């Protein structure tokens, strides 16, 4: 059995956590270190019976946890965060091993997970009095919803699990975490560690195969699904959840545009944009995925991006100095390679990069395509890998229209030395988050969500907490 001390001493046993107990399953499976393709330890494959058990435990836990005073729930979450922090290096190393990202970024993710947890646990939702007279008071309050399920993707498994756990638990809702089968390890340990701070059934985790997500969304027990993943899967989750009218929050894919105005300082901005496009090997919902550069500076800007791209080292995340790790899994690697196959098929011009077949892991060198058509697949679809198109623009109205001409609406940004111009353009972009002179800057106290097919609802901030609640209007009498 895995250790239950506040500091883990055993990191090689991985268990589901159901009703406060560590559980193995008859069948098991394992992940793969994407940098080496070596097998990682066995993890459980949950059955429908395990789902039933976890949901039923969460249902009973709801009766008591929802009645625990807010402040006590908050204290338990903060104590759990402290325990995660005590194991900081182990969580970061485990993350690099299972996800592939360089250790420095794995550490940044665990740090962000802690920051998100602490910030979200410290938000308070107050009752609002919307009307009052001598006889009555109309009060709006936010009551716990019930059993929640948090479905997590493989690109930021620690941060995204923690950012679901804290708001669900602080608002009084037990949560069952379902990690991606590609990255279950850290999430299993986060929840195992949590058992010291929460009563049985409040925080649970199930690792499984591709059956598990659909079992959870179809199960009549849960009241809410908080899902982060692709738009394709998000639609399936919504369809399945609709059968029992479960609440859903869907944080989905993106095709973020960035607009570069003619007055930028090329030497500063071009390297920043490249770094933001290739961070996490492009496997970020909010990575820059389309670069629109004003035609008057296009050649020089592209040349500077190419030059910086060549300095980005790709390799095993455990080795110092690598900016990019591998693609996280074989399926995604093949998907990204499909975009490289388009280069030949569609006769696209490569400014820098190409597929790197030499290393044992799923590595791809960062690649920029020079002015593919607006209709090319690389300009329209999300590759979720280190390949990005650069396009030129002439007219402000035209580039705004092209930036908005997508089914996605997650993030967008604009770069200019003139903040008036930049702010004006920013306000015209259709996305859940829009930045000026930066991209991918996030804040747990601000709402985060997508427009169009990038999602429904939002997480984080006070509104994110409210999405884990029912709204109740009370018409109370004074006399």
Please calculate the CA angle 449-434-151 and round it to the nearest 5 degrees: 20
Residue 144 or 361: the one with the smaller Cβ distance to ligand NAD is 361
User: Does residue 446 touch ligand NAD according to CB under 6 A?
Assistant: no
Query: Which ranges of 279-329 would DSSP assign to H, the alpha helix?
Result: 298-311
Q: What are phi and psi of 230, to 5 degrees?
A: -80, 160
> Which one of the spans 163-171, 176-184, 195-203, 464-472 is the region binding ligand NAD (CB under 6 A)?
176-184
Given 184, 201, 253, 353, the residue binding ligand NAD (CB under 6 A): 253
List, in sequence order, every residue forming a beta bridge with 399; answer none if it has no partner. Answer: none
User: Does residue 400 touch ligand NAD according to CB under 6 A?
Assistant: no
Contacts of 156 (CB under 8 A, 6+ apart): 109, 280, 284
Residue 393 or 468: the one with the smaller Cβ distance to ligand NAD is 468
401 alpha-carbon distance from chain centroid:
27
Residue with tokens 């409210």: 466
Active-site residue among 148, 261, 285, 469?
285
Given 29, 136, 141, 236, the residue binding ligand NAD (CB under 6 A): 236
User: Does residue 237 touch ligand NAD according to CB under 6 A?
Assistant: yes
What DSSP character marks residue 348? P
What DSSP character marks residue 60? H
**What residue number has its CB nearest to ligand NAD?**
213
- For residues 153 and 232, the answer to whether their CB atoms sit within 8 Å is no
User: Does residue 61 touch ligand NAD according to CB under 6 A?
Assistant: no
User: Does residue 385 touch ligand NAD according to CB under 6 A?
Assistant: no
Give the shortest CB-229-to-ligand NAD separation in angstroms.
3
285 an active-site residue? yes
Residue with tokens 């770094």: 275
Residue with tokens 């997480």: 459
Given 114, 151, 259, 364, the residue binding ligand NAD (CB under 6 A): 151
Give the shortest CB-250-to-ligand NAD separation in angstroms.
8
User: Does residue 217 touch ligand NAD according to CB under 6 A?
Assistant: yes
Residue 33 or 416: the one with the smaller Cβ distance to ligand NAD is 33
Instruction: Look at the alpha carbons of 405, 371, 258, 463 in this order and tell me if their dihedral is positive or negative.
Output: positive
Active-site residue among 251, 382, 453, 459?
251
User: Does residue 384 touch ligand NAD according to CB under 6 A?
Assistant: yes
Between the alpha carbon of residue 385 and those of residues 62, 146, 389, the distances in Å are 40, 37, 12
Residue 231 or 416: the one with the smaller Cβ distance to ligand NAD is 231
72 an active-site residue? no
User: Does residue 228 touch ligand NAD according to CB under 6 A?
Assistant: yes
User: Does residue 278 touch ligand NAD according to CB under 6 A?
Assistant: no
- For residues 14 and 44, the answer to whether their CB atoms sit within 8 Å is yes
User: Does residue 366 touch ligand NAD according to CB under 6 A?
Assistant: no
Query: How far is 23 from 342, CA to CA, in rounded Å?
Result: 46
Query: Which ranges of 243-297 would DSSP assign to H, the alpha helix?
Result: 266-278
Give the shortest CB-109-to-ligand NAD separation in angstroms.
12
DSSP string of 329-343, one letter each residue: SHHHHHHHHHHHHHH
Residue 171 or 180: the one with the smaller Cβ distance to ligand NAD is 180
Site size toward ligand NAD, by CB under 6 A: 27
Residue 166 or 422: the one with the smaller Cβ distance to ligand NAD is 166
User: Does residue 457 touch ligand NAD according to CB under 6 A?
Assistant: no
- For residues 143 and 125, the answer to whether their CB atoms sit within 8 Å is no
CA trace torsion 217, 223, 226, 231 (10° rounding)? 50
User: Does residue 254 touch ligand NAD according to CB under 6 A?
Assistant: yes
Q: 177-196 mask for ligand NAD (x: CB under 6 A)?
A: -x-xx---------------
Instruction: Look at the alpha carbons of 442, 382, 250, 454 in this order and tell me if their dihedral is positive or negative.
Output: positive
User: Does residue 230 touch ligand NAD according to CB under 6 A?
Assistant: yes
User: Does residue 465 touch ligand NAD according to CB under 6 A?
Assistant: no
Between the alpha carbon of residue 54 and those of residues 18, 21, 168, the distances in Å are 5, 10, 16
Given 22, 120, 147, 252, the residue binding ligand NAD (CB under 6 A): 252
User: Does residue 324 touch ligand NAD according to CB under 6 A?
Assistant: no
> Which one of the spans 28-36, 124-132, 222-230, 297-305 is the region binding ligand NAD (CB under 6 A)?
222-230
Instruction: Look at the alpha carbons of 74, 76, 82, 88 in this order and tell me if their dihedral is positive or negative.
Output: negative
- For residues 60 and 87, the answer to whether their CB atoms sit within 8 Å is no
Please calculate the CA angle 299-322-284 and round it to the nearest 5 degrees: 70
Given 76, 382, 413, 425, the residue binding ligand NAD (CB under 6 A): 382
Contacts of 160 (CB under 8 A, 6+ apart): 152, 153, 228
User: Does residue 386 touch ligand NAD according to CB under 6 A?
Assistant: no
User: Does residue 270 touch ligand NAD according to CB under 6 A?
Assistant: no
Given 261, 285, 348, 378, the residue binding ligand NAD (CB under 6 A): 285
Pairing of strands 28-33, 38-44: antiparallel
Which residue ranges make up the site for ligand NAD (CB under 6 A)?
151-155, 178, 180-181, 213-214, 217, 228-230, 233, 236-237, 251-254, 285, 382, 384, 410, 450, 455
Residue positions annotated with a catalytic role: 251, 285
């Amino acid at each position: 059995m895995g250790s239950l001390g506040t500091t883990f001493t055993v990191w090689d046993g991985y268990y589901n956590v159901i009703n406060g107990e560590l559980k193995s399953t008859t069948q098991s499976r394992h992940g793969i270190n994407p940098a080496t393709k070596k097998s990682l330890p066995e993890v459980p494959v949950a059955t429908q019976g395990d789902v039933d058990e976890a949901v039923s435990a969460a249902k009973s836990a709801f009766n008591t946890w929802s009645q625990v005073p807010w402040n006590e729930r908050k204290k338990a979450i903060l104590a759990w965060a402290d325990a995660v922090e005590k194991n900081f290096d182990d969580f970061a190393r485990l993350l690099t091993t299972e996800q592939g990202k360089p250790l420095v970024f794995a550490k940044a993710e665990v740090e962000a997970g802690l920051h998100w947890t602490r910030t979200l646990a410290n938000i308070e939702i107050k009752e609002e009095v919307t009307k009052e007279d001598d006889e009555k008071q109309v009060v709006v309050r936010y009551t716990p919803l019930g059993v929640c399920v948090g479905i997590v993707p493989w690109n930021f498994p620690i941060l995204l699990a923690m950012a679901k756990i804290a708001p669900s638990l602080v608002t009084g809702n037990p949560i069952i975490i379902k990690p991606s089968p590609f990255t279950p390890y850290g999430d299993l340990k986060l929840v195992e560690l949590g058992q010291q701070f929460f009563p049985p059934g409040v925080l649970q985790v199930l690792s499984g195969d591709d059956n598990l997500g659909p079992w959870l969304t179809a199960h009549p027990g849960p009241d809410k699904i908080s899902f982060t993943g692709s738009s394709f899967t998000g639609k399936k989750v919504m369809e399945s959840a609709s059968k029992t009218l479960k609440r859903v929050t869907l944080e989905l894919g993106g095709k973020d545009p960035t607009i570069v105005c003619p007055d930028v300082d090329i030497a500063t901005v071009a390297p920043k944009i490249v770094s933001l496009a290739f961070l996490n090997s492009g496997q970020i919902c909010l990575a820059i995925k389309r670069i629109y550069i004003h035609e008057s500076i296009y050649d020089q800007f592209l040349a500077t991006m190419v030059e910086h791209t060549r300095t980005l080292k790709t390799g095993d995340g455990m080795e110092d100095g690598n900016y990019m790790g591998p693609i996280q899994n074989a399926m995604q690697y093949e998907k990204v390679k499909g975009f490289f196959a388009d280069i030949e098929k569609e006769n696209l011009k490569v400014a820098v990069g190409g597929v790197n077949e030499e290393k044992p892991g799923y590595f791809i060198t960062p690649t920029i395509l020079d002015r593919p058509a607006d209709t090319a697949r690389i300009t329209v679809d999300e590759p979720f890998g280190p390949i990005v198109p650069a396009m030129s623009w002439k007219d402000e109205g035209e580039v705004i229209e092209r930036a908005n001409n997508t089914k996605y609406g997650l993030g967008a940004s604009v770069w200019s030395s003139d903040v008036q111009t930049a702010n004006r353009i920013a306000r015209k972009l259709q996305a859940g988050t829009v930045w000026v002179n930066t991209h991918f800057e996030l804040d747990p106290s601000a709402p985060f969500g997508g427009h169009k097919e990038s999602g429904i609802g939002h997480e984080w901030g006070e509104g994110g907490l409210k999405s884990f609640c029912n709204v109740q209007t009370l018409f109370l009498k004074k006399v």
